[in-house]
């Protein structure tokens, strides 16, 4: 058990699957770390802070094994830079800060007027081809 008495990772145990890749290990660590401290899940975070968290919770992350802090930091930095679909650089170039990429915004639902316009357009196209 870590020092945080509210640590959801320590209280609930290791995730049952999905941590075979460093990308998933880092994503899980960041989400848990920020959620347990009531911080925004897309807040900027330093690779060393993630590495300390991962090492502190090594029993939950099978990828860590017997790695040193420096090895874990390097693996996390590589994970950040090679998984731009999941993580994005934060701040100025080479600031060392990263964050989870926010999910893509859902398109706004079509209004009744937009649906009617699309229907009319489709109907005109069908009429033009004689259908």
Most confident of 22-26, 31-35, 73-77, 119-123: 73-77
pLDDT, residue 131, reads: 60
pLDDT number for residue 40:
80
Predicted pLDDT of residue 16: 60
- What average pLDDT does the chain have? 81
Cβ atoms 22, 76 nearer than 8 A? yes
pTM: 0.69
pLDDT at 118 over 80: no
Q: How far is CA 25 from CA 22, 90, 92, 113, in A?
A: 5, 20, 25, 46
Encoding tokens for residue 99?
Answer: 């964050």
pLDDT at 27: 86
Structural domains of the chain ordered from first start: 8-100 (1.10.10)
User: Using one digit for the tens of pLDDT, what is the confidence trace for 18-70?
Assistant: 667 888 888 888 888 888 887 887 788 888 999 998 898 888 887 788 888 89
pLDDT recorded at residue 18: 62
Residue-by-residue DSSP string for 72-101? HHHHHHHHHHH-TTTEEEESSTT--EEEEP
59: DSSP letter: G
């Amino acid at each position: 058990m870590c020092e945080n008495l509210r640590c959801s990772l320590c209280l609930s145990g290791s995730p049952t699957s999905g941590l075979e890749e460093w990308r998933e290990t880092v994503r899980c660590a960041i989400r848990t770390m920020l959620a347990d401290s009531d911080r925004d899940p897309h807040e900027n975070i330093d690779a060393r802070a993630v590495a300390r968290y991962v090492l502190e919770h090594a029993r939950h992350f099978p990828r860590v094994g017997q790695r040193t802090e420096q090895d874990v930091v390097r693996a996390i930095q590589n994970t950040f830079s090679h998984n731009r679909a999941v993580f994005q650089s934060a701040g100025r170039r080479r600031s060392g800060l990263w964050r989870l990429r926010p999910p893509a915004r859902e398109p706004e639902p079509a209004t009744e007027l937009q649906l009617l316009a699309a229907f009319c357009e489709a109907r005109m196209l069908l009429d033009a081809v004689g259908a």
